[in-house]
Structure 1
Amino acid sequence: MNQFVKLRKNFFKNNSAYDFTPVLIKNVMSVENKLQTIEERFLIRFNNINEINKGNELDENKLEELLSYLGEDPYTDRFTIDTILKEYSTYPKEKIESLIGKELENTDNNKDKIYHLLDLNLEVNSDILSLDSIVEMIEKYKDDFDTITLLFESLKQFNLKVSKEYLYNQIKLDYPTTIKIQILALLDHFYSINNLDLTLIRDKIRVKGSFVFVNDYIEFLKGKHQREKNGVVILQSMFYGDFEDSGKGNNGGLAILLKILGDEVSFDERIDRVITITISDVSEKPFMVNYQDNHLFVRLPAYLDRTVSDPFLKRELFTKRYIKNYLEKLNTQPGLFHIRYLDNASVAVAKLSKELNKKLVLTLAPDPHRNMIDEEDVLKNFSFNELQILANKIAIGDNLILKSDKVLGIGGKKVNKELHLYFPQFTHYNIKDKVKMIAEGIKTDEDMFKDKEDVEVCNLSELIGIHPSFCDKPIILNVGRLAKIKGQVNLFKAWSNSKLNETYNLLIIGGDLENPNKDEQEIIDLFNQGIKDRPELKDKFYHKGALHNDKIKLVEKSIKKQTFDFPHIYLASSIKEEFGIAILEAMSRGFLIIAPIKGGVKSYISNRGNGFLIDTSSSKTIARATEKILYNSDISTEEFREIQKAGKDTIEKEFSIDKIAKTFTDTYLSVIGGEENEV
């Protein structure tokens, strides 16, 4: 039996969701080695915090103990703060203020502890710091940008008015642009945007590539996008990506989905507005954009340290308050919040929804759950740091299930079965009634190409600068962000080292070619080296950077205009794929789909029915499975075409966005109304 599933089932018979982290770590870390000192210390701390968390009230000794743990480990820090906040309202505020003040006085060199004490101070709304002490700390911690943001936030929250000249001087310093914008918001709070020297502000905030953003943010402070509420407002969070950068960095198919879904939901007359938010570095893009009259996309310029692997872990409460302050300035309060990741950014939104007494919807996938075991159903051997990240996601999932008013599983019966397998609390906590399976969708040909000129011939040379001879063979296409988990290197190796390159040309689209991140550059270098080693493949392989979704659809239609005995293939090479918007779009164009057997794609693709599912774990498995499908099976050209047509029919019947959007809208309104009507 799957060892991870067995652990989960045994645990949820008698325990609370918080306890699973030490259970998982003990079981995984004991597979190959004994727990090391740092791991034992983590588990001792975690268990101590957990025992306090289980208690009914927080006494002074317990509070002192919890405060003493801060600054030791980012994961126990998060759990410690949550435990304090769970019970602090039953404890005399002056006592909490006194203990926080005492810890601040006695802590000097541990910047993480200082940060969490300030964070806690903001959450309990304790004005123990004077204006002079905050100004002194700003000078002391001016190089610690995380802490600096909390100090500026403290000035605003506790209404400690500093001089205009002081803030002008701060905005001139070498802070990240996101922090300078935070100072601008503070200037507006104390002095009003209309009474500021905007010429000075623009000169000192604006850096190369930020002119549009800064000007748009100033317009926001003047009231742009504010309006009277006339109905239901839905907020959907994204956090990883941008509507205009799909395929670059960590921007995947979710941005495409949320854009088209937000647009379609906003068309419904019962919905006043859909707001999609992401956390963004300042760039040459507007702060806010109306993609439809009632769909607002917001790039929140909140400072995050992008050098750490899990930037939202430490910044969870800051993110919550930042979003709350933005909504207050916009003069908008959503009736429902929809989150889609098991991470601390989603926890921030969840906490805000409960703080505002609003409804919360969670899209849930068994990730990383389904990847915790190997091929023999035995727990994998992770490093301690890897395991902390995974355990945090799993604990977040358990917590968000309880907080959510509706849990949406993306897919059909197969995924539903997986959810119940990996989340046994559905049964043990008797919450299965709030779980609903729902599809996600795309714009189909009929939706997308209304009033647009159709593609007549394969014109990849005109569309994306590829030599015309590339269209002389069937094409294997892969679209998406460049990342190891997306498997493009495995696909390239599978193609270049097999019979596939004799029959097919390979086109990979994705990645930021102008400013690649570390992973993107590594993959690009591997492509270049591969072609350098095999120069005869040079004109058979093209890698193009990320393209706008509309351009990708035109590329797909263009490819399909040239037909051969072998079908054009969309090969999704991801190690796993939770759903696959790019797969759906290629499927709707009529490509033969070959996709990962791991993940959620199996909810809509059946082998030899409307596509194929293969093992994508390595280049060898990809090559072997694809060759078997194309060359070593009894599938005729006519049957391939029937499979491709079945794929198109699947999209038209089950995944057209207008139908999907209505299902989402009806679900949202039923949750807000307190009744769930199956649709």
Structure 2
Amino acid sequence: MCDLVPPLLRTSAAERLTAVLRRTLLDDVREPVAGWLLDLCALHGLAPLDPDEARAVGEGAPLWRYLHSLGHPVQGDPRTSYEKLLLDLLTDDRPRAGRVDGPTVAQSMLIGGAGRPGEGASGGLGVFLRSLGDALADRDDIGRVVTIVLAADPTAVVVERQADREHWTVHVPVDSPVALPQPQMGGHRIAITWWIRELLTRHALVPDVVHVRYSDDGSLAVADAARLLGARVVFTLTPDPHRHLAERYPEEGADEEALRFDLHRVRVADELVERADALVAIGGRGDELVEHFPQLGHRSAIAIEEGIAPLPATPERPEELVAELFAPARTLPRLDDSARGLPMLLNVGRLHPVKQQTVLVRAWLEAGLHTSTALVLIGGSLTDRTPDERAVLDEVLALAESVPEARGRLAVLPAWPNAKVRGLEHALATALPAPSPHVYACASVKEEFGIAVLEAMEAGLLVVGPVRGGLPHYVDHGRNGFLVDTSTAALLGAGLREAVELGGATRAIAEAGRETVRERFPIARVAGAFARVYRDRA
């Protein structure tokens, strides 16, 4: 434990802090403050209380973590699945990974998951990190990759290795019955840090470099664990949340809670910049970043584009994938035979206001595109919908009901696994032929990069996406796709109609999009750029 204590606490300051903590803990401090303080002590190797004193002021998981840090045997009566997991971890031996040649790289994704992008908070980042982790693990100059995610539910500690490569996934449990939303991450920060350090140490997965990508308390928790483990930190910068402040709160009367959270994320981003041993910018976003991070005048961010893995195999039965768009459903609309032979507008992603599915449906209807195209939305949970998913879906269905003529031209499906979505995109041209290319319609306010857009381009779909964000760095308007203003339904509808009315003339544009992805964005090439950053810091 002593080797993991930050240098700041290896001085007389540790003694003074220990004395302050002792007085505070014995001064009738109550939960949850007592638990937070005990966890803080456990993380930093401080021992202000003996075991009996700790039992008198603490309880449950924080107490057990503190006792464990003292080297004291831990026993207890677990009241929840989470507490049982903790006791099991503290009393059981865990299998350890073998030695590898080359640095160990950890990457975190504590919001959403990779299994079904488009469900809940899961999105393109999960797809990207899974394929990037595989590509890095396949390189000779990287020894091992560890992807850190939050467990879906606190019922098991799962640390798993892919059968064919050194890519491990560590599922960190949290004391929450539901997926942890970003604003609540701060209340679990210390516990997440403890679990990461404990699991990586016990399984011999201690990293040399840790890469974090969100400006939130979850990334701070991972960065805290990295520091305690002696690992370097790489942080990916984005214009948000700084950009949000000017756009969301231009006048008085703003939502104070939302404003407070965005201000907190700004502070977190600035703190991660200061802590990071290397900064990464997505693609060519350097100039915009300098506007929001003046400290970049004294240090630079390394620009790296993201990428996608090749489709493992083209679908063997493309007609079966397309048939699901037409299969009747009890609650969600599907296509009927009137949609056959029409170009399709496809949109894939989580149902969320920033993805603007409601703006897309409104644009499709108001621009009259429902008379000449079909629209397919794929995203959201089938049963356990979040409040955002319910709100978006309700508005989409209400819009569809308001225009009876559109019935049979709109399909709404829950999130599919990534491989199935990509299979559908490749299947459309042959199993649902149309006189012009099918269109991938990205209606987001902006995309930081757009993994789903790259996948659609690679499949030969004609891409129409937002002019704001990362798309302009690889979509050249009119040459390999179209950039449109997505700020209103009227502007989005006009942009979509322009692309659709060009008809078969856009086949060359769609093909140019496919070539762009195949030349610039194969995941193996992208992994090489990240590997250079990691090796230089390992």
User: Does TM-score exceed 0.5, indicating one fold?
Assistant: yes
Give CA-to-partner distance per residue, 1:530-572, whole Å, 9 cap, x none. Answer: 3344344231111111111111111111222244344311111
- Out of 89, 110, 126, which is 1:239 matched to? 110
Q: Does structure 1 residue 551 correspond to structure 2 residue 420?
A: yes
Shift of 1:613: 1.8
Give CA-to-partner distance per residue, 1:196-241, whole Å, 9 cap, x none. Answer: xxxxxxxxxxxxxxxxxxxxxxxxx441x52233332111111112
In 2, distance between residues paired with 1:304 and 1:619?
A: 38
| Match of residue 538 from structure 1 | 407
| Match of residue 345 from structure 1 | 218
- Out of 320, 326, 332, which is 2:193 matched to? 320
Residue type of the alignment partner of 2:204: N
The structure with the largest alpha-carbon Rg is: 1
- Out of 384, 409, 418, which is 2:288 matched to? 418
Residue type of the alignment partner of 2:467: I
- Out of 642, 664, 669, which is 2:535 matched to? 669
In 2, distance between residues paired with 1:395 and 1:240?
A: 19
Residue type of the alignment partner of 2:40: L
Shift of 1:437: 0.9
Compare 289-298 and 503-512 and name the one that shifted more.
289-298
Instruction: Give the SS at the match of 1:303.
Output: coil
Residue type of the alignment partner of 1:106: D
Shift of 1:155: 1.9
Q: Does structure 1 residue 311 correspond to structure 2 residue 184?
A: yes
Compare 342-351 and 128-137 and name the one that shifted more.
128-137
Compared with structure 1, are the counterparts of its residues 596 and 371 closer, same or farther at alpha carbon in structure 2 (3 Å cutoff)? farther
Residue type of the alignment partner of 2:496: T
| Match of residue 73 from structure 1 | none
Question: Is the 2:347–2:376 contact (alpha carbons within 8 Å) kept by the matching residues of 1?
Answer: yes
| Match of residue 165 from structure 2 | 293
Q: Does structure 1 residue 181 correspond to structure 2 residue 85?
A: yes
Structure 1 vs Structure 2 CA RMSD: 2.8
Question: Is the 1:458–1:560 contact (alpha carbons within 8 Å) kept by the matching residues of 2?
Answer: no
| Match of residue 351 from structure 2 | 482
In 2, distance between residues paired with 1:330 and 1:580?
A: 34
Q: Does structure 1 residue 613 correspond to structure 2 residue 480?
A: no
- Out of 586, 611, 615, which is 2:456 matched to? 586
Residue type of the alignment partner of 1:288: V
Compare 348-357 and 606-615 and name the one that shifted more.
348-357
Residue type of the alignment partner of 2:448: E
In 1, distance between residues paired with 2:74 and 2:494?
A: 68
- Out of 368, 392, 395, which is 2:264 matched to? 392
Question: Is the 1:372–1:379 contact (alpha carbons within 8 Å) kept by the matching residues of 2?
Answer: no
Q: Does structure 1 residue 131 correspond to structure 2 residue 51?
A: yes
Q: How many residues align?
A: 523
Give CA-to-partner distance per residue, 1:600-647, whole Å, 9 cap, x none. Answer: 22221122222222222233332233234444xxxx435422221221
| Match of residue 505 from structure 1 | 374
Question: Is the 1:610–1:646 contact (alpha carbons within 8 Å) kept by the matching residues of 2?
Answer: yes
In 2, distance between residues paired with 1:393 and 1:178?
A: 28
Shift of 1:302: 3.0
Instruction: Give the SS at the match of 2:200.
Output: helix
Question: Is the 2:281–2:303 contact (alpha carbons within 8 Å) kept by the matching residues of 1?
Answer: yes
In 1, distance between residues paired with 2:124 and 2:156?
A: 20
| Match of residue 274 from structure 2 | 402
| Match of residue 330 from structure 1 | 203
Give CA-to-partner distance per residue, 1:114-133, whole Å, 9 cap, x none. Answer: 34433333344332334334
In 1, distance between residues paired with 2:260 and 2:242?
A: 14
Give CA-to-partner distance per residue, 1:99-122, whole Å, 9 cap, x none. Answer: 22222233445x453344333333
In 2, distance between residues paired with 1:280 and 1:459?
A: 30
- Structure 1 residue runs of 5 or longer lacking an equivalent are 1-84, 140-147, 194-220, 673-679
Shift of 1:459: 5.3
Shift of 1:157: 1.1
Compared with structure 1, are the counterparts of its residues 378 and 609 closer, same or farther at alpha carbon in structure 2 (3 Å cutoff)? farther
Instruction: Give the SS at the match of 1:337.
Output: strand
Compared with structure 1, are the counterparts of its residues 615 and 467 closer, same or farther at alpha carbon in structure 2 (3 Å cutoff)? closer
Compare 94-103 and 267-276 and name the one that shifted more.
94-103
Identity of aligned residues (%): 27
Instruction: Give the SS at the match of 1:271.
Output: coil
Shift of 1:247: 1.4
| Match of residue 431 from structure 1 | 299
Give CA-to-partner distance per residue, 1:393-452, whole Å, 9 cap, x none. Answer: 22222222232222111113xx1221222222111xx212xx21111101235xx32xx5
In 2, distance between residues paired with 1:284 and 1:121?
A: 26
Q: Does structure 1 residue 122 correspond to structure 2 residue 42?
A: yes
Shift of 1:592: 1.5
In 2, distance between residues paired with 1:667 and 1:284?
A: 36
Compared with structure 1, are the counterparts of its residues 374 and 138 closer, same or farther at alpha carbon in structure 2 (3 Å cutoff)? closer
- Out of 145, 169, 176, which is 1:274 matched to? 145
Question: Is the 1:592–1:644 contact (alpha carbons within 8 Å) kept by the matching residues of 2?
Answer: yes
Compared with structure 1, are the counterparts of its residues 444 and 332 closer, same or farther at alpha carbon in structure 2 (3 Å cutoff)? closer
Instruction: Give the SS at the match of 1:539.
Output: coil
Give CA-to-partner distance per residue, 1:257-283, whole Å, 9 cap, x none. Answer: 011111111111222211101011337
In 2, distance between residues paired with 1:332 and 1:120?
A: 23
Question: Is the 2:438–2:462 contact (alpha carbons within 8 Å) kept by the matching residues of 1?
Answer: yes
| Match of residue 653 from structure 1 | 519
In 2, distance between residues paired with 1:650 and 1:308?
A: 36
Compared with structure 1, are the counterparts of its residues 648 and 247 closer, same or farther at alpha carbon in structure 2 (3 Å cutoff)? same
| Match of residue 472 from structure 1 | 341
Shift of 1:363: 1.5
| Match of residue 254 from structure 1 | 125
Residue type of the alignment partner of 1:101: R
In 1, distance between residues paired with 2:155 and 2:377?
A: 27
Residue type of the alignment partner of 1:267: D
Shift of 1:374: 4.0
Instruction: Give the SS at the match of 2:408.
Output: helix
In 2, distance between residues paired with 1:380 and 1:406?
A: 38
Q: Does structure 1 residue 626 correspond to structure 2 residue 496?
A: yes
In 2, distance between residues paired with 1:124 and 1:287?
A: 25
| Match of residue 330 from structure 2 | none
Shift of 1:322: 1.6
Instruction: Give the SS at the match of 1:399.
Output: helix
Shift of 1:509: 0.5
Question: Is the 1:235–1:338 contact (alpha carbons within 8 Å) kept by the matching residues of 2?
Answer: yes
Instruction: Give the SS at the match of 1:354.
Output: helix
- Out of 375, 380, 398, which is 1:529 matched to? 398
Instruction: Give the SS at the match of 2:407.
Output: helix
Shift of 1:255: 0.8
**What does 1:147-226 align with in structure 2 at a 5 Å threshold?**
148-163=60-75, 167=76, 170-171=77-78, 173=79, 175=80, 177-186=81-90, 188=91, 193=92, 221-223=93-95, 226=97
In 2, distance between residues paired with 1:581 and 1:628?
A: 24
Shift of 1:89: 5.0
| Match of residue 461 from structure 1 | 323
Residue type of the alignment partner of 1:509: I
Compared with structure 1, are the counterparts of its residues 87 and 295 closer, same or farther at alpha carbon in structure 2 (3 Å cutoff)? closer
Instruction: Give the SS at the match of 2:143.
Output: strand
Instruction: Give the SS at the match of 1:310.
Output: helix
Compared with structure 1, are the counterparts of its residues 453 and 577 closer, same or farther at alpha carbon in structure 2 (3 Å cutoff)? closer
In 2, distance between residues paired with 1:670 and 1:509?
A: 41
Q: Does structure 1 residue 570 correspond to structure 2 residue 443?
A: no
In 2, distance between residues paired with 1:280 and 1:124?
A: 25
Residue type of the alignment partner of 1:228: R
Give CA-to-partner distance per residue, 1:32-69, whole Å, 9 cap, x none. Answer: xxxxxxxxxxxxxxxxxxxxxxxxxxxxxxxxxxxxxx
Compared with structure 1, are the counterparts of its residues 251 and 459 closer, same or farther at alpha carbon in structure 2 (3 Å cutoff)? closer
Question: Is the 1:361–1:404 contact (alpha carbons within 8 Å) kept by the matching residues of 2?
Answer: yes
In 1, distance between residues paired with 2:321 and 2:382?
A: 23
Q: Normalising by structure 1, what TM-score?
A: 0.71
Residue type of the alignment partner of 1:250: A
| Match of residue 98 from structure 1 | 19
